[in-house]
Amino acid sequence: MKILAAMSGGVDSAVAAARVVDAGHEVVGVHLALSRMPGTLRTGSRGCCTIEDSMDAQRAANMIGIPYYVWDFSERFKSDVVDDFIAEYAAGRTPNPCMRCNEKIKFAALLEKALDLGFDAVCTGHYASIRLDDEGNRELHRASAWAKDQSYVLGVLTAEQLEHAVFPLGDTPSKDLVREEAARRGFTVASKPDSHDICFIPDGDTRGWLAEHVGSETGQIVDREGTVVGSHEGAHAYTVGQRRGLNLGVPAPDGRPRFVLEVKPKSNEVVVGPKEALAVAEIAGQRHSWAGLPPRHPESEFDVHVQIRAHADPVPATAVVSTSAETGEPEVVVRPETPLDGVAPGQTAVLYAGTRVLGQFTIDRTVSAVPVGA
């Protein structure tokens, strides 16, 4: 096959590219320039897709012996990922920009361009596996190394995208083995630290970045009954489940700490309450997709495991596709066997059947397991 290897400049994508070359494929390496500030250099393990990362990727491509290019996707990244991130926070939701990047950039814009240029597939260094069912249909599964499994952030992939995706690291038992292989191959990135945090906020100050891009407006902090208990200087700075940094002038009647339960952008209010009120008995969302074939009868309840964060434990649940009473549009409704903790609208819920990724949806609404006044 003719494969385009997406090379971030990290150890995983370098080893993945080398493995598809070893498998006999015709491979071309490409680094995605996503930053609107091309002079930015990476510091420590924060950020990605900078000039330093591009140079690291080029050195790896040269050692592998494959052609290497840098493609400028910064405009698309800004509109589909950064602007979406800002809009979601402005609407009081908590988005996952890595999900949007995989959905809109790596397996939409990049894959579309790759196919137009005659490539058969895109290869990345994600830890996930693609398997065939009994009828030859592709399925997305967890990686063998659950501690490093990245199938959650790939839950946005569609059946068509899976047909053109290659994940060479999915069966590798541990990240240490990948680093050892990189060292044997002589890659300078063998000991390079993993990137973390949000790549377009390399200094890690998400609160300050949002204040600059969303703006700050003083508002009220209220309890579940609507009583004012404090004030804030920008609702965007708060996320569901947050305890620290609350400017509360009225203590709880029982003296226990309070947590952020909800952010209301229209009224510019932050709702707080006891920790047990973070328990969620139901989540639902309309923006959903299936990773491969959809469930046979999604309009009837089916058993799943639901995962609401990249490193959260999957929770047994039932799911169903029903009609939203509010909009009349189809929505996925999930009811976990045990309440989920600290779920915020805007997060992504990924559904699993065993190790297989069934699909995902963006959470639009939640139902608390603890009624107001209880």
Choosing from 48, 49, 98, 101, the catalytic residue is 101
- Angle at alpha carbon of residue 32, lines to 116 and 91, rounded to 5°: 100
Phi-psi region of 200 (alpha: psi -120 to 50; beta: other; left: phi over 0): alpha
Nearest Cα neighbor of 100 from 25, 161, 157 is 157
> Contact at 8 Å (CB) between 268 and 251?
no
278-368 in CATH: which number? Answer: 2.40.30.10
Tens digit of pLDDT at every position of the chain (374 positions): 999 999 999 999 999 999 999 999 999 999 998 876 544 444 444 446 678 889 999 999 999 999 999 999 989 999 999 999 999 988 888 888 888 998 899 888 999 999 999 999 999 999 999 999 999 999 999 998 777 899 999 999 999 999 999 999 999 988 999 999 999 999 999 998 887 668 788 777 787 888 888 877 889 999 989 999 999 888 887 888 888 888 788 888 888 899 999 888 878 899 999 999 999 999 999 999 999 999 989 999 999 999 999 889 999 999 999 998 888 899 999 999 999 998 989 999 999 999 999 999 999 999 988 877 55
Pairing of strands 121-123, 2-6: parallel
Q: Where are the domains of the chain?
A: 2-191, 216-273, 278-368
pLDDT score, position 282: 96
Say yes or no: domain 2-191 is CATH 3.40.50.620: yes
Q: How crowded is residue 132: how many other Cβ atoms within 10 Å of its Cβ?
A: 9
Choosing from 48, 49, 98, 199, the catalytic residue is 199
Is residue 101 part of the annotated active site? The answer reads yes
Is residue 98 part of the annotated active site? The answer reads no
Distance CA 54, CA 40 (A): 11
pLDDT score, position 39: 46
pLDDT score, position 28: 98
pLDDT score, position 237: 79
- Hey, CA dihedral for 19, 106, 292, 97, is it positive or negative? positive
Q: How crowded is residue 79: how many other Cβ atoms within 10 Å of its Cβ?
A: 11
User: 216-273 has which fold?
Assistant: SH3 type barrels. (2.30.30)
